Structure 1
Amino acid sequence: MTLDEPAQDPTRTLVLEAFADTIIPGEKRFPGDRAVAGAAAGGGAVAAGAIELLEHPAGGLADALTTLVYSLDEHAREYATARDLELDESVPAFVALSFEHRTALVDQLTQPDHPEKQMWVGLALFSNMAFDSAAHLSTPAALAAGHPGLHTIGYRLPDEDGLWRFPSFSYGRRLADLHPDTTTTGSPA
């Protein structure tokens, strides 16, 4: 892989998917899935749209992804060499690592004293955001499509009119009286 490969390169996508799956694992999408290791039941970060979020221009990482993938693969080769692991050359080095070795490598890269920690923590945060907030999608659309993360964390569906109402208080009691100038939409006058 070179630094100037296009954003739609399938090799690049495999590495990003493998990284996202390492952060929030999910089940394999098909029997020969190499990027998603199948370390957990249900959909993980990949099924939640981690790649779409990473590629979104508003996130600020899209332009750096090819470089991050190249660097991650280099780290994977060094990791494998240091442990005398034989990598399958038909897939990128990080993808060729077992889930346990991917996890160990990501742990190393995100340690407080690692000089590249900020890059890898940023990539991990985007994988988490895709899963636990569907930041790249409209919340009602994500819920309607069965977004795995929102359903896993128990995000409830809106009422039939598309609005969320909460008939019971989260603390079990009302914390304050409604301001007399509050409108029917909940806004202050």
Structure 2
Amino acid sequence: MQPVHTGGNPDRTSTLEAFADTIVPGEKRFSEDRAVAGAAKGPGAVAAGAMALLETPATGLTPALDDYARSLDEHAGAHAERQGIPLDPGVSAFTALPHDERVALVAALVAPGHPERDLWVLLTIFCNMAFDTGAHLPTAQAMADGHPGLVALGFTQPDADGLWRFPAFSYGRPLARLHPDTAPSGSLA
């Protein structure tokens, strides 16, 4: 399986996928995968749809993704130079970094006091959201499709009609009595 190139720029996609994989690592999608480092078993943020979420207009990030990728590659090039790490010119600078160096760079970018911290934390949050919530998909569809993050988190499958009901109260008891005028739908009659 080859990565999905979006935005018309394969380096942009590779850089952003490598960033997402740094936030929630996963296993390589294919043997030559450079964006996904293979630092963890099972699917990570990329397999969970990080690029689809980042490119959802509702995030507000879509117009800035080219700038995010360019800036991340600039930071990666400077990091590699400081650390004496040779980079493969055949891929974007961030993608070319070894996984542990990606982690070190992202840690520096999101550290308190970094002047761009808020921008990188925002991108980090959306990469986490792709894995933790499948925010770019309807939840019932994500569950039916076996969304890797929701499965890994043990998210409960809906009932046969696609709705979630929780017959066992989380506190071990009802928090309030049901109003006598409550209809079977849960609304007041």
* TM-score when normalising by structure 2: 0.94
Q: Deviations over 1:93-132 (max 9, x none)?
A: 0000011000000000001100000110010000011111
Corresponding residue number in structure 1 for 2:81: 81
The Cα shift of 1:65 comes to 0.4
Q: Are 1:168 and 2:163 counterparts?
A: no
Specify the code of the residue in structure 2 equivalent to 1:45: A
- Secondary structure at 2:29 match in 1: coil
State how far apart, in whole Å, the 2-side matches of 1:35 and 1:27 are: 11
- Aligned partner letter, 2:81: T
Structure 1 unaligned regions, length at least 5? 1-5
In structure 2, C-alpha distance between the alignment counterparts of 1:66 and 1:35, rounded to whole Å: 16
Partner of 2:187: 187
Unaligned residue ranges in structure 2 (runs of 5+): 1-5
2:3 counterpart residue number: none
Letter in 1 for 2:37: A
Distance 1:146 1:153 in 2: 12
Tell me whether 1:24 sits opposite 2:39 in the alignment: no
| CA distance in structure 2 between the partners assigned to 1:119 and 1:188 by the alignment | 44
Report the Cα offset of residue 18 of structure 1: 0.2
Counterpart mapping for 1:75-114 below 5 A: 75-114=75-114
Task: Find out whether 1:11 has 2:35 as its counterpart.
Answer: no
Q: Which residue of 2 aligns with 1:3?
A: none
1:151 aligns to 2:151 (yes or no) = yes
Distance in 1 (CA, whole Å) between partners of 2:80 and 2:151 is 36
Structure-2 separation of matches of 1:188 and 1:40: 49
Residue 36 of structure 1 deviates from its aligned partner by 0.3
Q: Which residue of 1 aligns with 2:51?
A: 51
Structure 1 position 188, deviation (Å): 3.3
Deviations 1:126-180 (A, max 9, x none): 0011111111101111111110001111111111111111110111122211122
Aligned position for 1:120: 120
Quote the Cα distance in structure 2 between the aligned partners of 1:46 and 1:188: 43
2:36 maps to 36
Q: 2: CA distance between counterparts of 1:54 and 1:86?
A: 29
Query: The residue matched to 1:156 in structure 2 has which SS?
Result: coil
5 Å-filtered alignment, 1:60-75, equals 60-75=60-75
Q: Pairwise CA RMSD of aligned residues?
A: 1.1
Moved over 4 A (4+): none
User: Distance between the aligned counterparts of 2:188 and 2:12, measured in 1?
Assistant: 49
The whole-number CA distance in structure 2 between the counterparts of 1:181 and 1:9 is 58
Deviation at 1:184, TM superposition (A): 1.4
Q: CA–CA distance in 1 between the matches of 2:98 and 2:188?
A: 55
Seq. identity, %:
60
